[in-house]
Structure 1
Amino acid sequence: MATLNLIGAGHVGRVLGRLLAAQGGFHVQQVLTRSAASARAAVDFIGSGAPAERYDQLQPADMHVLAVGDDQIASACAALAQAVPLKGSVVFHCSGALASGQLQAARDAGALVASVHPIRSFADPAAVAAQFSGTFCGVEGDAAALAVLTPALRAIGAQPVPIDASAKTVYHAAAVFASNYLVTVLDAALRAYMAAGITEPVARQMAQPLAAESMANVFRLGAAAALSGPIARGDMVTVERQQRAVDQWDAPTGDLYRALVAPTADLARRKRLK
């Protein structure tokens, strides 16, 4: 059975450690975190392995998972490369924003490097571990590393998706658009309803079918085909009237409305070309 060491054991690291041990064909050897207590808690969650307190206590392994914060990846990799023989092993991190180039110290030490970014929320690790099947993972890195990681990820139910390492930050921004900024735009819609005298609970009920149907159409038909409303119809008179009204009501929200006009107009042009 292939061996694995886990460096950093937050929610993502714990879930991957448990799944790779239970279904991925790996024996978890050691777990290294900032404190012995957190390492022991991670070992208990994973169900195997032993806590380690220092890098020089780590044994050589077939795979090393760096499940640390983005700002710690390079330094953790350097410490690992200095303390443990890495030639021929696979080292990967779990950042959505940073590429495998952050692991140059491991590559220089003879390791194969990659990044694996599971695309989901890990707020409840136990629930995620139980329902991980179908989770998309953006992967990039050395071909030989991906040749090892891809079947291991599929074994735990993941769907690996190769991505361009040079566009890793743009890739990560996609999740911000699809999740965080979507919430911001919906907040603007709710506040606009409330400005018209509608209570917030009713505003949510009014916005929900519009938002839900629009999102369903995007995922069923594509964004261009799903677009509706005044810009899609070419009714720029209405758009300009709305812009003035929103500016007068709330200037920051007016700025948001204005910023969305041009990309929406471009989307409408793409719709007409289809």
Structure 2
Amino acid sequence: MNEPRVSIIGLGQVGTALLNAFSGCKVEVVSVFNRSEINPSVKGKFPNSFFGRELPGPEEPMGDFIILAVSDDAIKEVAEKLSEILTPNENLNVIHCSGTHSSQILKSLKRKGANIASFHPIKAITSNTVSFKNIWFDIEGDEELLGILEKLAELLGASSFRVEPEAKPFLHASAVVASNYLVVLADLVSRISSQGNIPEHTAIKALAPLMESTLSNITELGVTDSLTGPIARGDAQTVEKHLQSLESVPKLQVLYKTLGLEALQIAERKSGHSSSLGKIKELLS
């Protein structure tokens, strides 16, 4: 693949992260467009890129690949406006970065001859993100683009995998659970620990390595073989003691029971049903 030349539309967290990441590899950012005024300090960091307001005009420089890094709600509208601006061109490539929408949301551009695809980074992106190394992109869309996007991911130091369009909402929901709900789980950890007067920062610092090692086990061993603890062991007395300690905080006890029942299914998948797991199921139900 020749050195990619891209244009980025939308300079929120995703667009800014891509701009920074592309500057560290062999990807030329020809132009960047944003609805609001772009900070001069950003422009100063990328003197070889053209920065414009709103959408590109017919005389403004454009790359071979247009990346829509706008919000999910804005993709369709921006695509339709672009389809009115751009002249029909079978060499035009337009990509969006949404985890939820398939490439079909760009069909107005497809009608103008463009190749379309989605290129979604499975990463919690913040204002500090400058790299996509060692993450995964899910990709789908026109076959002409998928091989190129796989190589683009490699240039970013990332991996990629192809998905069917109808799979994207399920994958994105999974990503929300993996990222956002991990934060919820950490909050639950601190709230339970606080019942024993353990400060939040102490609990998180002490238990984060346990969470990290569990994630490592899941990657190496798979979900089923990574389950440890009292439910995996069939230790009903320990589970009962936990439930008793949480009786004064019914909401936390309910959450413990709910998650415990899910863990019980994994334990039964791992070791089969037993009388001790039956006892635990009674306690959690």
| TM-score, normalised with respect to structure 2 | 0.80
Larger deviation: 114-123 or 231-240? 231-240
1:172-224 per-residue CA deviation (whole Å, 9 max, x = no partner) reads 22222222212222322222222123344443354344333323322232221
Structure having the larger proportion of residues in helix: 1
Residue in 2 aligned with 1:80? 82
Shift of 1:39: 7.5
Contact 1:9 1:39 in 2 (8 A): no
Contact 2:121 2:137 in 1 (8 A): yes
Shift of 1:170: 2.0
Contact 1:224 1:271 in 2 (8 A): yes
Residue type of the alignment partner of 1:258:
K
1:101 aligns with 2:115: no
Residue in 2 aligned with 1:65? 67
Shift of 1:154: 1.8
Q: Find the residue that maps to 2:38 and give its secondary structure.
A: helix
Residue in 2 aligned with 1:33? 34
Residue in 1 aligned with 2:183? 183
Residue type of the alignment partner of 1:195:
Q
| Whole-angstrom distance in 2 between the partners of 1:55 and 1:15 | 20
Residue in 2 aligned with 1:225? 225
Shift of 1:149: 2.1
Contact 2:122 2:137 in 1 (8 A): yes
Larger deviation: 137-146 or 48-57? 48-57
Residue in 2 aligned with 1:112? 115
Identical-residue share of aligned pairs (%) = 30
Which structure 1 residue ranges, 5 or more long, are not aligned?
none
1:41/1:226 Cα in 2 relative to 1: closer, same or farther (>3 Å)?
same
How do 1:1-274 residues align onto structure 2 when only pairs under 5 Å count? 3-20=5-22, 23-26=25-28, 28=30, 30-35=31-36, 37-38=37-38, 42-55=42-55, 57-58=57-58, 59=60, 61-88=63-90, 89-125=92-128, 128-129=129-130, 131-236=131-236, 238-239=238-239, 242-243=242-243, 245-246=245-246, 248-272=247-271
Shift of 1:2: 5.6
Q: CA RMSD in A?
A: 2.8
| Whole-angstrom distance in 2 between the partners of 1:189 and 1:196 | 12
1:160/1:211 Cα in 2 relative to 1: closer, same or farther (>3 Å)?
closer
Shift of 1:113: 0.9
Contact 2:186 2:204 in 1 (8 A): no
Contact 1:31 1:39 in 2 (8 A): no
Shift of 1:8: 0.9
| Whole-angstrom distance in 1 between the partners of 2:27 and 2:160 | 17
| Whole-angstrom distance in 2 between the partners of 1:224 and 1:2 | 42
Contact 1:39 1:52 in 2 (8 A): no
Contact 1:33 1:39 in 2 (8 A): no
Shift of 1:76: 0.5
Larger deviation: 264-273 or 61-70? 264-273
Residue type of the alignment partner of 2:170:
V
Q: Find the residue that maps to 1:57 and give its secondary structure.
A: coil
Which structure 2 residue ranges, 5 or more long, are not aligned?
273-285
Shift of 1:105: 1.2
Aligned residues: 267
